[in-house]
Amino acid sequence: MAVSTNDLKNGMSLDLPEGLFSVVEFQHVKPGKGGAFVRTKLKNVRSGAVIERTYRADEKLEQAIIDKRDMQFLYRDGTDFVFMDTTSYEQLQVPPDALGEAPNYLKEGDEANVQMYNNEIVGVELPAAVELTVTETEPGMQGDRVSGARKPATLQTGHVVQVPLFVNIGDVLKIDTRSGEYLTRA
pLDDT in tens, 70-105: 889 898 888 888 889 888 888 888 888 778 788 888
As a whole number of angstroms, the distance between CA 184 and CA 172 comes to 9
User: How many helices (DSSP H) and strands (DSSP E) are in the chain?
Assistant: 0, 16
As a whole number of angstroms, the distance between CA 178 and CA 98 comes to 17
Does residue 54 have a pLDDT over 70? yes
Contact 141, 91 (CB under 8 A): no
The whole-number pLDDT of residue 67 equals: 86
φ, ψ dihedrals at 6, nearest 5°: -70, -20
Concatenated DSSP letters for 78-139? TTEEEEEETTT--EEEE-GGGSTTGGGT--TT-EEEEEEETTEEEEEE--SEEEEEEEEEPP
Please provide the average confidence, as pLDDT, over all residues in the chain: 85
With cut-offs at 50, 70 and 90, classify the pLDDT of residue 142.
Answer: low
Q: Is the pTM of this model over 0.85?
A: no
Q: What is the mean pLDDT of residues 148-169?
A: 85
Q: How many CA atoms lie within 13 A of 30 on its CB side?
A: 2
Does residue 144 have a pLDDT over 70? no
Instruction: List the one residue out of 156, 104, 153, 108 whose CA is nearest residue 132.
Output: 156
High-pLDDT (> 90) share of the chain, %: 2
Does residue 141 have a pLDDT over 70? no
The whole-number pLDDT of residue 17 equals: 86
Q: How many CA atoms lie within 13 A of 92 on its CB side?
A: 24
Q: Please report the domains of the chain, with CATH numbers, ordered by start residue.
A: 2-62 (2.30.30.30), 67-125 (2.40.50.140), 129-185 (2.40.50.140)
